């Protein structure tokens, strides 16, 4: 119920309760609050049982958590057959390759040929560090680019 309350917040609440109610009345207030929470839970459980009995035997496995839209969608997506085809299609699409092709087209360079047998292409002169599958490894430091590709030095920009 209170899974997101930290230790410091709990101590603050206890100190605040002692200051507001006093050490003499605090046990009585705690008993009243716990009794009130228990009555609310009993009322909620009885209402759930009444709704289940009114729905009939077809809804015996009905859970009220299914009324949450996120839970409902998650269950429907798990049971959907078309979703498997979508996952297969997504797995066959290489977003990095498409992005590199677009970047090459924007910069006016010829797209690099795909890697063969997991080795990077030999024709690439961009100096990019490539992983074993031939895609650029963005985590490794790249070699310096050619001086022709560098933007002109602007002393006013520094």
Mean pLDDT by 10 residues, the chain (158 residues): 79 90 90 96 91 81 79 76 70 79 83 52 48 61 59 73
CA contacts within 13 A on the Cβ side of 41: 7
Residue 39: the pLDDT is 97
Residues 25 and 69 in one domain: no
Residue 146: the pLDDT is 55
C-alpha separations of 97 from 30, 92, 101, 158 in Å:
62, 12, 6, 35
Residues 51 and 69 in one domain: no
Residue 52: the pLDDT is 82
Structural domains of the chain, count: 2
Residue 139: the pLDDT is 61
Reported in sequence order, the residue ranges of the chain that DSSP labels E, i.e. its strands, are none
This prediction's pTM? 0.39
d(C-alpha 145, C-alpha 62), whole Å: 62
Question: Per the structure block, which two tokens stand in for 58?
Answer: 């077809």
Provide CB contacts within 8 A for 115, sequence distance 6+: 121, 130, 133, 134, 135
Residue 23: the pLDDT is 87
Residues 57 and 88 in one domain: no
Residue 68: the pLDDT is 82
Residues 86 and 58 in one domain: no
Question: Per the structure block, which two tokens stand in for 113?
Answer: 């040929």
Residue 2: the pLDDT is 62
Facing residues of 119 across strands? 116
Residues 68 and 34 in one domain: no
d(C-alpha 42, C-alpha 152), whole Å: 75
Dihedral angle, C-alpha 102, 108, 114, 120, nearest 10 °: -110
Question: Per the structure block, which two tokens stand in for 147?
Answer: 């001086």
Could you list the residue range(s) of the whole structural domain that residue 37 is in? 8-62
CB 29 within 8 A of CB 21: yes
The total of other beta-carbon atoms located within 10 Å of residue 120's CB is: 20
């Amino acid at each position: 119920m209170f899974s997101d309350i930290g230790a410091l917040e709990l101590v603050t609440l206890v100190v605040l309760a002692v200051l507001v109610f006093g050490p003499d009345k605090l046990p009585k207030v705690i008993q009243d609050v716990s009794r009130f929470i228990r009555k609310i839970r009993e009322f909620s459980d009885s209402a759930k049982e009444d709704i289940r009995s009114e729905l009939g035997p077809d809804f015996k496995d009905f859970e009220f958590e299914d009324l949450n839209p996120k839970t409902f969608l998650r269950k429907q997506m798990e049971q959907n057959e078309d979703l498997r085809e979508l996952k297969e299609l997504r797995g066959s699409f290489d977003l990095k390759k498409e992005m590199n092709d677009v970047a090459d087209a924007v910069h006016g360079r010829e797209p690099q040929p795909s890697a063969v047998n997991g080795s990077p292409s030999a024709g690439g002169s961009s100096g990019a560090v490539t992983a074993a599958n031939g895609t650029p490894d963005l985590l490794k430091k790249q070699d310096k680019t050619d001086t022709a590709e560098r933007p002109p030095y602007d002393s006013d920009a520094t």
